[in-house]
Amino acid sequence: MEPGQTIAGRYRIDREIGRGNFGIVYLAEDERTGDLRAIKVLLPWAARNEQLRHRLRREARLAGSLTGEHAVKIHESGETQEGDVFLAMEYLQGEELTHVLQNRGPLPPARVQEIAQQVLAALDEAHRLGVIHRDLKPSNIFLCRDADGRDFVKVFDFGIAKVTGDGDLMATAKLTVSGGVMGTPVYMSPEQCRGEELTPASDFYSLGIVLYELLAGRVPFDDENPVRIMLMQNQDSVPPLPAAIAASPLGQAVRRSLAKQPGDRFATAGEFQAALRGEVTRPTPPPAAAEPRPERPAAQSAQPAKSAAWIWWVLAAALLLAAGGVLLFMAWR
């Protein structure tokens, strides 16, 4: 698209303001209202991929159902005369959380706690509608400024969100890739890595990773090999945060959100928010790997050890197959 071009008879393109692996975002003026809008379209090669076209339409439908102040507003969606799918979104001034991390490193705990509360407000609305984000990470969290100059959070990119329940949103078909896994490995929950059915607890785990990164300046699990990352999400204990942070309500809430078992995490966004305020309703589980390994008597035969080894080999094989889907998804991104 070129500057001066008009989309849907009302959005006049000004300039490109962002670009990803498969999409472009333009700044445009709504000629009917005079307001600025962000127009999202697919790159030419992606526009020929029906699954990606469906994903953009789906993002419009899901995000358009969210009316809370911390979700990015979709004003209109449709297709141009040339057949390109587009989204007309509110224009945000600020920066992605990714850029904040890159430029400033670890953030003060008080600021991290305020960001977390607002992200949870967006997730609370989505979860009440039966929508699980599935790809929560710093690049999908945008920091604006309110009238007092404080952080005002916007959550976006519901393109791979999972819809549960049987409401109207079920009209949007489930997106899958080879292996059934979608997401970004360093922010994925253990059950998401295994390709299992997800609950809101999966989003809370991903948010826990984000909060850990904001506090420590790094994610707890990282490796060049995505399969290793997924194994770490399932098996490895979370490295401890600095003692002062770990002992605070924020640190305790982060630790609980990173429990390996979904049932040991928070049940709702409201419960997570309460824990951040120090209103803990149940004990925080101790840090642990996926499953405790009971000690075996010295005289026990080697056969049980072989069986345990086989379990981990099977898990590794499953994650290897799932990684094929992750790598394909990451290529789209």
Catalytic sites, residue numbers: 135
Q: Judging by beta carbons within 10 Å of its beta carbon (0-12, 13-18, 19+), is residue 141 exposed, middle or buried?
A: buried
Asked if 253 contacts 200 with a C-beta cutoff of 8 angstroms, the reply is no
CB 28 within 8 A of CB 18: no
Closest CA to 70 of 173, 183, 207: 207
DSSP 244-277: HHHTSHHHHHHHHHT-SSGGGS-SSHHHHHHHHT
Q: Is 87 helix (H, G, I), strand (E, B) or coil?
A: strand
Cα dist. 215→99, 187, 297 in Å?
15, 15, 42
- Cα(264)–Cα(314) distance, integer angstroms: 24
- Cα 105 from chain centroid? 20
Q: Please provide the size of the chain in residues.
A: 333
Give the three-state DSSP class for 56. Answer: helix
Contact yes or no for 198/134 (Cβ under 8 A): yes
CA pair distance 119, 111, nearest whole angstrom: 13
- How far apart are alpha carbons 285 and 295 in whole angstroms? 21
